[in-house]
Chain A
């Protein structure tokens, strides 16, 4: 009898806890949603909580409605879980403890990641500047993107960038790591010196290089001194303002002139390649460190066996080192791609997208469109561009994993 009474009260407790959880989780989920609702901004709306909520009711109800369904579902699941775990005191404590420790992470992520992305998804289909309510435009942003020269050129630039920079920095990183790998004196010293450029901010590196790239700068001096040794007269190049494309320069001696209407045939410009070079400076050492660590994991016995069989150092590199490094190479290439496709700082500081748009990048364009730096504020359009970029990144990394990861299972 006592046992039955206890069971009943346990069950009621569990049900009460479930209901409380549902309400709590629903509220916790809805608050970031409301915060992120696409409404007008500005001091009138934000004057107080009630004016803001009134504004939400006026302009953002479809958004709030759609998301609240998802929130209710999640809250329901949470409630059911709580109901199941409530009976057993130990499991109940484990549940509460787990989520208590996760609380900072969950709250911050809900507000600043989940809510923000839902907002971004919504306004990508709307015309939105903060001063007027959002207007639904459907897919027109996405269609417009692929017709806008700036965006196409930005994609073109950033694809060349990824194509040239990623393999180069990977190869350089491997070379440096192999060079540093054997036991030698001052190894730690060299490793530290090599890594130093990666430690400073991109702003510092960019400013220093803009100065070095001046027409009166050290890089022109270097070229004129070294080429002067072979008798070539070097004309100083204004590196960061030179819009001539690589392919354009290569075919020029053959009399082929690529008109500016077909800018996409010209290849990366000199200014763009200057920025590529500058960036490899900072990224190669970071990846070198990863390769160094990976090289330590390769069992020396493999090399010994190979040299007993008469393999030269070169053969050992190609047949042992590189295959064993494959997973790290994949990681470095994926990280490199994600990084290169989103380059911004250097462009903002050094060239502002010029000359002739040859250093424009998607993130720079998103920045300009969203904040209205080169025209009206178009946050919806910028959000659409951001999603196109995200899809591009996903596709790239997926393909890379397919092709490079294929062989890595063999070695474990």
Chain B
């Protein structure tokens, strides 16, 4: 019996015809998204515009959206803030940036070393220490707050950068994330290096670290942001005006400038813009870091 073949239908060349409900749903979705985006971003926009207003405009009611003149002088005035004894705005900016970068770098080094030990090395007590580390994650910050302050006082570290740098070397969350990440690196590479005679430290520095660049970069960025945005610990430890970080200085601005919100908002912009810029460039790492910690954790 001969096999008859069905004629093949010609390939579809017209666009897919979707029901109207599909387009309506999409329009509603985009409208919602744009609306929510506007709402979430509105405070920043309003604040940015407000930072150029005059003293009278900033507390006028009803407030006008745009200022009469764009007062760049506000920004200059805030930049030139000087509370005496070296407490200047550029200095505060430096304090914040220095702390953020240093703690981030040290954290990458310290946490990756610990993560390497947990994920790759075998030694007695490894699991015990790992579980202990997870346990410390559950301790609320409020408990260690004041005793740590007393300790810093005793060690004469108050009003020095060390008070924030030293405790910042470890972070159980970062160690955990890096441990999970290191576990995904195939052992063959390490074994090859081992056969070539590399010691453990060299394996760590020349094999594991280069392969973990995305994870390390994520730890760096998240820690940079965390230290830049930190308020309570710098408030406690760095209370001399010359050592303030931007957040602490801003809290003083609020009391100092009272109704001159335009100036306070300039300060807020100075604080927010570097982090926002960093974020927009590295948003992939931020978001993957946060979701990685949430899902695999």
B228 at the interface (CB under 8 A from A): yes
Name B113's contact: one of A46, A52, A104, A292 (CB within 8 Å).
A104
- Contact B250–A204 (Cβ < 8 Å): yes
Query: Chain A residues with Cβ under 8 A from B144's Cβ?
Result: 112-113, 116-117, 120
Name B67-110 residues within 8 Å CB distance of A: 109-110
Task: Identify which of B12-20, B190-198, B209-217, B274-282 touches chain A.
Answer: B274-282
Does A326 have its Cβ within 8 Å of any Cβ on chain B? no
Mark each residue of chain B from 100 to 135: 1 if its CB lies under 8 Å from any CB of chain A, else 0: 000000000111011011000111111001000100
Give chain A residues whose Cβ lies under 8 Å from the Cβ of B207.
none
Interface residues on B, range: 35 or more
Q: Is A75 an interface residue (CB 8 A)?
A: no
A118 to chain B: closest residue by CB: B147
Task: Assess the A204–B272 pair: CB atoms within 8 A.
Answer: yes
Is B61's CB under 8 angstroms from A179's CB? no
Query: Could you say which of A85, A188, A190, A382 contacts B33, with CB atoms under 8 Å apart?
Result: A190
- Asked whether A275 is an interface residue with its Cβ less than 8 Å from the other chain, the reply is no
User: Of A46, A194, A294, which is within 8 A of B154 by CB?
Assistant: A46
Bound: A179/B26 CA distance, A? 10
Q: Are B121 and A101 in contact (CB under 8 A)?
A: yes
Whether B237 is near chain A, meaning CB under 8 Å from some CB there, is no
Q: Is there an interface contact between B46 and A212, defined as CB atoms closer than 8 Å?
A: yes
CA distance A112 to B122 in the complex (A): 26
Q: Are B113 and A102 in contact (CB under 8 A)?
A: yes
Contact with A along B240-275 (1 / 0, CB 8 A): 000000010011001000000100110110011001
Whether B294 contacts A290 by the Cβ 8 Å rule is yes
Structural contact, B261 and A211, CB atoms closer than 8 A:
yes
A-B pairs, top 4 by smallest CB distance, nearest first, are: A98-B123, A293-B291, A201-B229, A290-B294
Chain A residues at the B interface, C-beta cutoff of 8 Å? 35-36, 41, 46, 52, 81, 84-85, 94-95, 97-99, 101-106, 108-109, 111-113, 115-117, 119-120, 123, 130, 176, 179-180, 182, 184, 188, 190-197, 199-205, 207-212, 214-218, 220-221, 224, 236, 281, 285-286, 289-290, 292-294, 297, 328, 331-332, 338, 341-342, 344-345, 348-349, 362-363, 366-367, 370, 379, 382-383, 386-387, 389-390, 393-394, 397
Q: Interface residues, chain B, CB within 8 Å of chain A?
A: 26, 29-30, 32-33, 36-37, 40-41, 43-44, 46-47, 50, 58-63, 109-111, 113-114, 116-117, 121-126, 129, 133, 136, 138-151, 153-156, 166-167, 169-170, 175, 200, 204, 225, 228-232, 235, 247, 250-251, 254, 261, 264-265, 267-268, 271-272, 275-276, 279-280, 283, 286-287, 290-292, 294-295, 297
